[in-house]
Amino acid sequence: MKVSIKFFASAKQAAGVDNKSFNVNSAEELVTEIRILGGEKLIRIIESSPVLNNGKRVNIFKDFELKDNLYLEVLPPFAGG
């Protein structure tokens, strides 16, 4: 399945790219590919950042169902105020 991710701010810096597409068969495989791309730093950023799919927040690390042609956005952490 094809999964495309757009990275913003610190996630973009850690990934070294704005956008990246992955061909994976499971959420676990997606996390592995993200780790290969940006190491543990990128994983930590994603764990603490909003990840959106069609405007809805998702958690790719827990109970995440992959679909073909999925598009995710990793936003900067929201500040309080």
The CATH number given to whatever domain includes residue 35 is: 3.10.20.30
**For residue 10, pLDDT beyond 80:** yes
Averaged confidence pLDDT in the chain: 93
Give φ, ψ of 56 to 5 degrees: -110, 135
Residue 8 lies in a domain: yes
pLDDT at 53: 95
Residue 16 lies in a domain: yes
Strand boundaries in the chain, DSSP class E: 2-7, 19-23, 51-53, 56-58, 70-74
Residue 33 lies in a domain: yes
Q: Residue 39 is part of which domain span?
A: 2-74
Query: What does the pLDDT look like over 29-65, one tens digit per residue?
Result: 999 999 999 999 999 999 999 999 988 999 999 988 8
**For residue 23, pLDDT beyond 90:** yes
pLDDT at 33: 98
Residue 30 lies in a domain: yes
Number of independent structural domains in the chain:
1
Residue 40 lies in a domain: yes
Residue 79 lies in a domain: no
Residue 68 lies in a domain: yes
pLDDT at 79: 63
**For residue 77, pLDDT beyond 70:** yes
